[in-house]
Amino acid sequence: MKSISIVTLGCKVNQYDTAVILNQLPKSKYRRVPFSDKADVYVIDTCTVTHKADAEARNYINRAKRANPNGVVVVTGCYAQVSPQELKEVHGVDYVIGNSHKFSSLLKIIREGKRQEEPKVFISDIFKEKKKGFESPDIEIFPGRTRAFLKVQDGCNYACTFCIIPRARGRSRSLEIAEILNRMEKLAHSGYKEIVLTGVHIASYGREIGTNFFELLREIEKEKIVNRVRLTSLDPADTELDLIDFIADSQTICPQFHIALQSGDQDVLKRMRRRYGPEKFLDLTDKIRERMPDAAIGSDIMVGFPAETEEEFLNTYEIARDSALTYFHVFPYSKRKMTPAAVMPEQIHPSEIKERSNRLRELGSKKKTAFFKQFIGRTFPVLIERGSKGTTPNYIPVRFDTDAFNIGDEVLIRINDVVNEEAIGVAEITNA
C-alpha cells in the first residue's frame, strides 16, 4: 500500500481541490499519513496570496525531504501556477503541477510518479484559456471536516492592482445549478449537515452560463437539502441589498457574512482598483445589522498598500471600529510580482505596516469579544465539530461542559461566558 501525505495551504477553494484528490484515491491502495511522517508521496497544494504563503510552501518542501529523502515531492496549486520556474529551483521538488493541470495530471503523478533529477513541470497559461470550463470533480466525503465545502465557482475576471489570483486561477467559471444541487445531495447523504459554498469570486457565479448567484441561492432555499448553508467572501461591488433581504428571510442560509472591505479609504480603494467606495460597504453592513441583529459580519482588511498615509489608514480604522463588523482578518500588504501595485511608488516600510496591523488586530479582538458577549444567557443550536466544541449558525465557536455528543450532532447550548474569543456554554437538549 502506498503512503501519501497531503498538506493544503490557503483558501477553502484549495481545501476543496485537495478533498477531490483524496476522494479519488482508493483506500485499498493508499494510506494517508501525517506530513511529518515518512511517506512515499508528498503533495503540497500551495497558496500565493502573500510572500509568507510562498515561504510556507518552501518550508513544507524541506520538511518532506527531511521526513523521507527518497519520497516523491509534488507541488501544485497557485504558487505552482504563478512561479513554476522558482519552484523548479527548490531542492527536493520532483513535480510542479499548476492549477491548469491539477485535475488532469496530479492523480497520474501520484500513482506513477518517480523521483526526478530535474523537476517536471505541468502548466499552461490558465488566464488566457477563455473557454476553459469548470472542471472540479465532485466529492462524497470531505476528509477531516464536520462541515463540507462545495466549490461552485472558480477564477476571477477582475484586476485588483494587488492581486495575483486571476493569473493563478484563470477567468471566472461556474458549476451548473442542477449539478450543485446534485453534489449537495451526495454530501447530505454522507451525513453533512452544513455545506459551505465557496469560490474565488463567488459573487460572479453563473454569469458565463446565463444565471447568477441570487438564482443559485433561491434554488438552494427551495430544495432545502441541508439545514445549514454558509457563504464565503462576497465582493461589496456585486452584493445588493435585496440579497440581504433574501438571506434574512431564509431558513437555510446561515446569518454570517464575510464582505471584503480591503480599505476604508476612497483613494486607497481607487488605487487598488476596487469597484466600490466605503459608503457601499457601510450600506451593506448596516442593512445586515438592521435585518439580522444576531448576524456575524466579517471582512478582509489590507494594511500598508503603497502610498497609504496615516490619515488613509485611520479612515480604515474608523470604519472597522464604527461599522457593524464583528470580526475581520488583517492582511499586511505583500508585494506580488506581475501586479501593478508591486511597482507603485511609495511602498510602505514593513515596520509601519506591522504597527498598523497590530492596531487593527487589537481592535478586531475587542470587537469579536464584545459581539460574543451579547449572547451570554442565550441558547443556540451548535453543530458539534470535535469533542466538546462546535459552532453556532452565526459563527460563534462554543466550548461546552461535556464530550458526550458525536461529531455532526446538533445540540442546543446555552452560552454562559466568553473566554479568549471563545464562548463557554452548557448543553441543554440534543436535537440530533
Per-residue pLDDT tens digits for 150-190: 999 999 999 999 999 999 999 999 999 999 999 999 999 99
What percent of the chain is modeled with pLDDT above 90? 87
Each residue of 4-39: pLDDT tens digit? 999 999 999 999 999 999 999 988 899 999 998 999
- CATH number corresponding to 379-430: 2.40.50.140
Report, at the CATH architecture level, how domain 148-371 is classified: Alpha-Beta Horseshoe (3.80)
User: Does the structure show a pLDDT above 60 at 257?
Assistant: yes
Pairing of strands 95-98, 397-400: unpaired
The pLDDT value recorded for residue 143 is 81
Please tell me the predicted confidence (pLDDT) of residue 405. 87
What average pLDDT score do residues 319-337 get?
A: 95
User: Into which CATH architecture does domain 2-124 fall?
Assistant: 3-Layer(aba) Sandwich (3.40)
Query: What pLDDT, in 10s, does the model give residues 409-428?
Result: 899 999 999 999 999 999 98
Per-residue confidence (pLDDT) for residue 61, from 0 to 100: 97
Q: Where are the domains of the chain?
A: 2-124, 148-371, 379-430
pLDDT at 381 over 90: yes
Question: What is the model's pLDDT at position 135?
Answer: 81
Of 37-46, 127-136, 171-180, the range with the lowest mean pLDDT is 127-136
What's the confidence (pLDDT) of residue 265? Answer: 98
Give tens-digit pLDDT for 190-241: 999 999 999 999 999 999 999 999 999 999 999 999 999 999 999 999 999 9
- Which residues lie closer than 8 Å to 175 by C-beta, 6 or more apart? 134, 136, 151, 152, 153, 183
Largest CA distance in the chain: 63
292 pLDDT more than 60: yes
pLDDT band at 432 (very low <50, low <70, confident <90, very high): very low
Model confidence at 142, in pLDDT bands (50, 70, 90)? confident
pLDDT digits (tens, 9 = 90+) for 263-286: 999 999 999 999 999 999 999 999
**What is the residue-averaged pLDDT of the chain?**
94
Cell numbers at 312, concatenated: 488613509
308-321 pLDDT tens trace: 999 999 999 999 99
So what's the pLDDT on residue 131?
A: 63
Are 16 and 136 in contact, with CB atoms under 8 Å apart? Answer: yes
Give the mean pLDDT of 59-68: 95
Q: How far apart are CA 273 and CA 261, in angstroms?
A: 13
Is residue 430 scored above 80 in pLDDT? Answer: no
**The three grid cell numbers given for residue 175, joined into one nine-digit string:** 458549476
- Write the CB contacts of 108 (distance below 8 Å, at least 6 apart in sequence): none
